Amino acid sequence: MVATLGAPLAIVCVYSLRSRGAYFGVEAPWTLENYARLWDPLYGAIVLRSFWIAAVSTALCVVLGFPLALFISRAGSRKNLYLALVILPFWTSFLIRTYAWMFLLRDTGLINTLLQSVGLIHAPLPMLYNSGAVILGLVYGYLPFMVLPLYATLERLDPSLLEASADLGARPFDTLWRVIVPLSAGGMRAGAILVFVPCLGTYLTSDLLGGSKTVLIGNLVQDQFTGARDWPFGAAASLALMAAAMALLFAVRRKGEDLL
Amino acid sequence: MAVLELRGVSKQFTSQGATVEAVREVSLALEPAEFFSLLGPSGCGKTTLLRMIAGFDSPSAGEILLNGASIAHLPPYRRNVNTVFQSYALFPHLCVRDNVEFGLKRKEGMRKGAVVDAASLVARVLEQVRLEGKESRMPAQLSGGERQRVALARALVLAPDVLLLDEPLSALDPQLRKQVRGELKDLQRRVGVTFLFVTHDQEEALSLSTRMAVMNAGLVEQTGSPRELYNRPGTRFVASFLGAMNWIDGVGVRPESTRIAPAPGANAVVTGTVFLGSVQHIEARLESGEIVTSQIAHGGALFAPGDRVCVSWDESDEVRFPT
């Protein structure tokens, strides 16, 4: 733990308190300047956008993941097949899968070409390089992290509770809303954390699918270490992101419950 | 008119290519306000029968009539019967009050306006099952007996035509079970609802029921009052399943009707004794080789293995079946 988690974190902490090096790296004077710069409204907009995109992606993962998890938990002998299909994309690199989305979404991509060839549209739909494309990529990439904990919760749900609900006069939708949804809240929360945190820090999806218009915190951090060569500011931004994510986890945890 | 009537109800399950006949042409009629038990060993089809009445399974053949109207093909939420589940199936995310109110809120026309009415109904039923003051507890904070009473209250508050109880005492520990048995009988008398009680425990069925049916291998073997079934069993299965029975040359005699006395006229040898507190059981081997058990009262004569004894009974206590 100390070597793999503590040491890199300590280095990032130290870097965030030093000054920018002439070409890269850090130089001697200690300073809080890097943290002060985070309050610049320019970065505020980036932070807001990052939270907004992560929140929308998480919400969409719940909306799409819940029915899917419910369906799999009811699939009887086919459960394992469906679960394998949910996990299947992990066998290919996330980078390659994101490129595949670019191939589908771009102006000369598969979808636009197809729609134009059948005459449904005359100019390509702008599907790539916007927030929508980033959200699509995130939902696609992190949906399994929502489905798996939800499935685990739904699978354990006592079937006699559903029978009791019907027995007491609840129609199927009422049983879903009053019994199944509240009793899967734990899995939903676990899934939301697993989706929200990586979405908040994403840089690859926003870089490839969002283009230059959709800069998120992750891209900002990445840029400080590469193009901008401002390691201390990059370190400060990444620590701020981590603190924000942890504060959020702390806020949503249930009383007396451990984090995660 | 019968409140609940089953006519030739059958249920077949197919599992792994084999067809299992869980329930075979069961016909029963339950009268209003009666405490009716379905007694049988596990796997005899009694729970399947209950599930068909509740609507969780549908019969392969036959009719289920509630107050004369067929309900066999209605979903559970359209049948005016309610179930007390073996595990109680209380909603763990709802407090006692919300569990009891759950059904009332689902009922048509109870959604608005009737809130005050619902509250007084809930208060009354919680008083009936002695759970006043526990309205805000969560199911996890209740004892086994309290959970069972919430399950009863939750079903009874809907005023069902028939209350179905699926081995509701089996989850309780043995000391509590007898006490709860008495309370259940009292409750049934007070609310006047027809109870259909499924159990594999003959003592429960005998002590609680006004009438009962003994099931075996999907068939109803006999229906009648507990006294009728015990004293005049209609089949060999009923005779053996209800209480103990000695079988001597094809004739059945209850251990409590079997007398045992020291010689003269010895026709048996004691093979063992079992002390049970209020009574003792003496096992003896007849000259024909058959083993009989005699139940004698506390304080009766003492016997030891090897004693030569005289075993006898009255002919009027014999149970015979045509072979």
> pLDDT tens digit string along B207-240?
999 999 999 999 999 999 999 999 989 999 999 8
Contact B81, B53 (CB under 8 A): yes
Which one, of B290, B309, B221, B288, lies nearest residue B252 by Cα? B290
Q: Give me the pLDDT at residue B25, please.
A: 94
Structural domains of chain A, count:
1
Residue A143 lies in a domain: yes
Which chain A residues have any C-beta within 8 angstroms of a chain B C-beta? 158, 160-161, 163-171, 174, 178-179, 182-183, 185
Distance from CA of B296 to the nearest CA of A (A): 45
Residue A47 lies in a domain: no
- Give residue-wise pLDDT tens across range A169-190: 999 999 999 999 999 999 999 9
Q: A161 to chain B: which residues are within 8 Å by CB?
A: 89, 91-92
Residue A100 lies in a domain: yes
Average confidence (pLDDT) over A142-170: 94
Average confidence (pLDDT) over B192-207: 94
Mean pLDDT of chain A: 85
Residue A35 lies in a domain: no
Contact B86, B42 (CB under 8 A): no
Cross-strand bridge partners of residue B83: B164
Average confidence (pLDDT) over B162-168: 95
Check whether A259 has a pLDDT greater than 50. Answer: no
Q: Give me the pLDDT at residue A255, please.
A: 54
Distance from CA of B284 to the nearest CA of A (A): 48
For residue A95, the enclosing domain spans 52-214
Q: Check CB contact under 8 Å for B102 and A182.
A: no
What was the ipTM of the complex prediction? Answer: 0.87
Q: Give me the pLDDT at residue B115, please.
A: 58
| Strand order across the B4-15 sheet | B18-30, B4-15, B61-66, B69-70
Q: Check CB contact under 8 Å for B158 and A183.
A: no
The percentage of residues in chain B with a pLDDT greater than 70, rounded to a whole number, is: 97
Q: Give me the pLDDT at residue A129, please.
A: 85
- Give residue-wise pLDDT tens across range A5-56: 888 888 888 888 888 776 666 777 777 777 888 888 888 888 888 889 999 9
Determine the Cα–Cα distance for residues B114 and B101; give it in Å rounded to an integer: 12
Check whether B121 has a pLDDT greater than 70. Answer: yes
Determine the Cα–Cα distance for residues A145 and A192; give it in Å rounded to an integer: 8
Residue A13 lies in a domain: no
Q: Give me the pLDDT at residue B225, please.
A: 96
**Which range among A61-70, A120-129, A234-243 shows the weakest confidence by mean pLDDT?**
A120-129
Determine the Cα–Cα distance for residues B96 and B110; give it in Å rounded to an integer: 19
- Give residue-wise pLDDT tens across range B88-109: 999 999 999 999 999 998 875 4
Average confidence (pLDDT) over B168-192: 89
Q: Which residue is closest to B84 within chain A, CA to CA?
A: A164
Task: List the structure tokens of B93.
Answer: 């995310």
* Distances B280 to A109, B122, B285 between C-alpha atoms, Å: 90, 48, 17
Domains (range + CATH), chain B: 4-237 (3.40.50.300), 247-317 (2.40.50.140)
Contact B205, B220 (CB under 8 A): no
Q: Give me the pLDDT at residue A24, please.
A: 65
Check whether A106 has a pLDDT greater than 90. Answer: no
Q: B91 to chain A: which residues are within 8 Å by CB?
A: 161, 164-165, 179, 183
Which one, of B196, B164, B187, lies nearest residue B76 by Cα? B164
Backbone angles phi and psi of B195, in degrees to 5: -105, 130
Determine the Cα–Cα distance for residues B121 and B158; give it in Å rounded to an integer: 9
Distance from CA of A66 to the nearest CA of B (A): 19
- Give residue-wise pLDDT tens across range B21-33: 899 999 999 999 9
Check whether B133 has a pLDDT greater than 50. Answer: yes
Q: Are β-strands B279-286 and B268-275 bridged in parallel, bridged antiparallel, or unpaired?
A: antiparallel
Average confidence (pLDDT) over A137-149: 93
Q: Check CB contact under 8 Å for A167 and B83.
A: yes
pTM for the model: 0.83
Nearest to B75 among A166, A168, A182 (CB): A166
Average confidence (pLDDT) over A51-68: 94
Residue A259 lies in a domain: no
Q: Give me the pLDDT at residue B114, please.
A: 56
Q: Give me the pLDDT at residue A187, please.
A: 92
Check whether A2 has a pLDDT greater than 50. Answer: yes
Top mean-pLDDT range of A32-46, A88-102, B40-54: B40-54
* Distances B101 to A119, A177, A185, B79, B157 between C-alpha atoms, Å: 57, 16, 22, 18, 8
Which of the pair, B178 or B56, is modelled with greater confidence?
Answer: B56
Q: B80 to chain A: which residues are within 8 Å by CB?
A: none
Task: List the structure tokens of A121.
Answer: 């549209």
Residue A204 lies in a domain: yes
Average confidence (pLDDT) over A68-95: 90
Which one, of A132, A134, A127, lies nearest residue A105 by Cα? A127
Check whether A260 has a pLDDT greater than 50. Answer: no
Residue A241 lies in a domain: no
Q: Give me the pLDDT at residue B112, please.
A: 55
pLDDT band at A114 (very low <50, low <70, confident <90, very high): confident
pLDDT band at B47 (very low <50, low <70, confident <90, very high): very high
> What CATH code is carried by the domain that includes residue A128?
1.10.3720.10
